[in-house]
Structure 1
């Protein structure tokens, strides 16, 4: 992507040698505004040659999405032999801890107040959800202890951007994907604040699910890298725990690792073998403390990557060997309750009492009764549905919305040079369920079942042949396999095939239906057998005519025919 280096100064911001951030100038419970944030980074970029600021595409708010980069050697080529960390802030602007912490981090890197990484380039998106950040208020995070004012979860078009990384309904998502592939990070950090249970920790963290990372890369992250970073935090007297995935109940009975499917930020970045984490500071702790632990987590991660970047890059490259033609790939997962770890947890006693509002039982946590005890942590999942990795996918040129997203994600493809006939694996959508309520602009599908068949099909010059053996192999499988949780099919990209376009008039088709049965003994036998076995079918003339129609050459081939094809 062509980058535009910013030299424009915000006229509303007074520049000086004072490098205190707006957060530092406040009372410890105030978060930086969007305008202050961009102005501050512009100041850093103008004062320090190790800092560069770039505009990298539009957002739904109409404002550009920026990245700020720190490079110790003043070389801002992301392809040099260094580790690369990408930090995302303000995807939910009501959770602004990372916004303020990252400003402090870049200032301290630029001034060498902290140890400067020699082998790592640090890239940050100052505020990802600009529209939500501009929609500033003090009330939308009713469960949160500060700051005094903050942004709103929905973006300028009211999308939750942390559900938009596959469907890409927002300009933010499309700009992010260009940034992601330009930067090509080894490690991705998406800063958040938690909701849910109460406990003693200020810092919790989602380490992206290791089985989705795959192979030795996933095991390395689970067993070596993430634990070492957590140990480093403990040396700083920062206690931490995995993200407490509990809502409306107490964590005493244990909890599970969060499964970050591709709709989420780290679920998306995992598809390209980037290690990922989601810091989740605790909503009820003071804002100043939350900013501090977010800063220290990022610093510990930078130090680890700086020491181990060669190993990380090697494991990332080798991980592609786990996704070769003919191998199985999991499309759906469920928690493996047979695998459990005993984990020390620092909580508060949860009790129930009568609500003064409803008169019903209500949960409360008693901070006068802290405890430390072993609880169950479930950190493994098992595949419930798999597919075999094909050699190629074929995407007809008519499916241009899909092709746009594939190209945006730097999927390699080539157009078919001439009209041709190819033996392909073809899917028919056998069944699916659809959500009864809207979710992020969609009535999505789930429990999709597709039936595979082999057939020779004609393709046009200009249709696209896409090999799976490339960096984006997992992205292809997660989006193009209709049964995958966050497939393009399940996100409604192909709903046109679910609607029948041509029908028959019964009074006309009656005579044709008789001809069809008279001409085909096989069809007649199947028809009679169905009437014998299905009383409802036998009682409905309409159903019988429809069955004959659907089993004849008059029935349209496009109905329920998934228009993406596989070459084995």
Structure 2
């Protein structure tokens, strides 16, 4: 009874969107412990759903945490990777019918299919490297966005609705089910775990050293071998690989900003579909059991983690691998070699499944800071930047409007340099290699401008979005591009006389100008560049050009 569409099939078929929703509606109708809700629109025009499983039969958002932890499951973000969709349907059924032990201290919330537009775009060919199922959805959503790059920039209705769900549910643990791409090896199950340094403090170490090892040990008892996501493509993994650092654009990176440990199961694309669904099910079941036995500790560490992000403390915006710190990782692989391609006539990589091996490979798990910032007491953002303010609000950021016009001493950033990608990426041309100049000055703010304290649960979200040098900052994602363009200019034949007068009246300016001409031969030969330099160092130059319009209050 209550067989899922997957179980009714041949083991290589996944439920459609309509079948998935219909199945959960049936569980909602027949079991008092399950409730299904509509929660916000998606780009497809269809609403997102959540399905709550609570043995206490309480479904109000303010009741989910009644002495319990909450596990949030996300499925179908890439509908061509549907393992979690089918596994979660079985998990809910088994919990509702008592086949699985009833959790006493945990509530589960599940988004059945997050990328509805992609699920409706069903086909059998777009996952060219994947071994089943027979048909599946497409990676891009209804507007062709990859939703697992959109959590921070929130270009899609899906992402905005997810933020609403995430903050109403306030999960303690998060799982986002996927299927891998990349090398070939013996494992059916790999995983991306929120990086412990990114998660921070005792919470990060607990997740890395205690929680995750125990869950993986439980899987091993069921004869399921697991390994961190094999982060190599088109090369043999024998040389080792590094732990994936999940930035905030990704689901687990997003969760990490709110002190929620997350994992991204990545079942292996070349293994048969039935095996992949089975291990996804077991991973979720093992995680649920661990949470249920340790819910108090998890919740305590989440709360405690906020103490690591106080004003005056340092926060890392950019990391890189510390290659001096390496561990040996047991690895079950296949011998790889190169042979002549029948297509190109050039060497091509292949794996010989008749030659499995068990050996250790280097694994790089430790990162070191590249760019750090001191956490301010607050940020101030003018009300005119409503596009960013709206995103802060949907992410549950608390802010206070100024009651009156006021002049305040703040830290101000000027964008000194940056690079921009040559090709479109997820609807943007993101900036990188951002350099800033910091000054302290008095700025006139106006009634209604927003003061945003960093002493709130979203402190890491504020740092990752409002500090322009962060990899996924709103500056990086082009939300502030209007400041990069001058709006006023000068006509050279008119400004010539003004420039001469400025140099005559300002001795310091003239000396700096002459020194620059002596030291920079190109500048000395370029009349336009010289006039522009004087213009930019004069009162005539607009102060908003390259002036980052988010300010830091230190005291």
Q: TM-score, normalised by structure 1?
A: 0.97
Separation (CA, whole Å) in 2 of partners of 1:521 and 1:366: 76
2:465 is equivalent to residue 482 of structure 1: no
| Aligned pair partner of 1:150 in 125, 136, 161 | 136
Partner-residue secondary structure (3-state), 1:484: coil
Instruction: Determine the structure 2 residue equivalent to 1:37.
Output: 20
Task: For residues 493-524 of structure 1, give each alpha carbon's deviation from its aligned partner in whole angstroms, at most 9, with x where no partner exists.
Answer: 00000011100000110111111111111111
| Aligned pair partner of 2:85 in 80, 99, 106 | 99
Separation (CA, whole Å) in 2 of partners of 1:439 and 1:81: 43
Separation (CA, whole Å) in 1 of partners of 2:102 and 2:229: 29
Separation (CA, whole Å) in 1 of partners of 2:516 and 2:231: 49
Partner-residue secondary structure (3-state), 1:485: coil
Separation (CA, whole Å) in 1 of partners of 2:139 and 2:284: 23
2:210 is equivalent to residue 227 of structure 1: no
Map 1:300-379 onto structure 2 (within 5 A).
Answer: 300-379=286-365
2:31 is equivalent to residue 48 of structure 1: yes
Instruction: Determine the structure 1 residue equivalent to 2:495.
Output: 509
| Aligned pair partner of 2:424 in 435, 438, 462 | 438
Map 1:248-267 onto structure 2 (within 5 A).
Answer: 248-267=234-253
**Preserved contact between residue 425 and residue 453 of structure 1 (Cα < 8 Å):** yes
In the TM superposition, residue 380 of structure 1 has moved relative to its aligned partner by: 1.0
Separation (CA, whole Å) in 2 of partners of 1:559 and 1:464: 21
Separation (CA, whole Å) in 2 of partners of 1:527 and 1:73: 75
Separation (CA, whole Å) in 2 of partners of 1:250 and 1:381: 23
Instruction: Determine the structure 1 residue equivalent to 2:162.
Output: 176
Partner-residue secondary structure (3-state), 1:385: strand
Separation (CA, whole Å) in 2 of partners of 1:311 and 1:386: 30
Task: For residues 336-386 of structure 1, give each alpha carbon's deviation from its aligned partner in whole angstroms, at most 9, with x where no partner exists.
Answer: 111111111100000110011110000000000000011111111111010
Task: For residues 217-271 of structure 1, give each alpha carbon's deviation from its aligned partner in whole angstroms, at most 9, with x where no partner exists.
Answer: 0000010000100000001110111110010101111111011000000000000
In the TM superposition, residue 531 of structure 1 has moved relative to its aligned partner by: 1.0
Separation (CA, whole Å) in 2 of partners of 1:545 and 1:409: 46
**Preserved contact between residue 85 and residue 185 of structure 1 (Cα < 8 Å):** yes
Separation (CA, whole Å) in 2 of partners of 1:380 and 1:192: 24
Map 1:57-136 onto structure 2 (within 5 A).
Answer: 57-76=40-59, 77-136=63-122
Partner-residue secondary structure (3-state), 1:54: strand
For structure 1, list consecutive stretches of 5 or more residues without a partner in the other structure: 1-17
Separation (CA, whole Å) in 2 of partners of 1:115 and 1:193: 27
In the TM superposition, residue 289 of structure 1 has moved relative to its aligned partner by: 0.5
**Preserved contact between residue 78 and residue 184 of structure 1 (Cα < 8 Å):** no
For structure 2, list consecutive stretches of 5 or more residues without a partner in the other structure: none
In the TM superposition, residue 540 of structure 1 has moved relative to its aligned partner by: 1.1
How many residues are aligned here?
A: 551
Instruction: Determine the structure 2 residue equivalent to 1:7.
Output: none
In the TM superposition, residue 397 of structure 1 has moved relative to its aligned partner by: 0.3
Separation (CA, whole Å) in 2 of partners of 1:436 and 1:269: 30
| Aligned pair partner of 2:536 in 550, 556, 559 | 550
Partner-residue secondary structure (3-state), 2:464: helix
Separation (CA, whole Å) in 2 of partners of 1:244 and 1:397: 45
In the TM superposition, residue 79 of structure 1 has moved relative to its aligned partner by: 3.0
In the TM superposition, residue 450 of structure 1 has moved relative to its aligned partner by: 1.0
How well do the aligned residues superpose, as a CA RMSD in angstroms? 0.5
Instruction: Determine the structure 2 residue equivalent to 1:167.
Output: 153
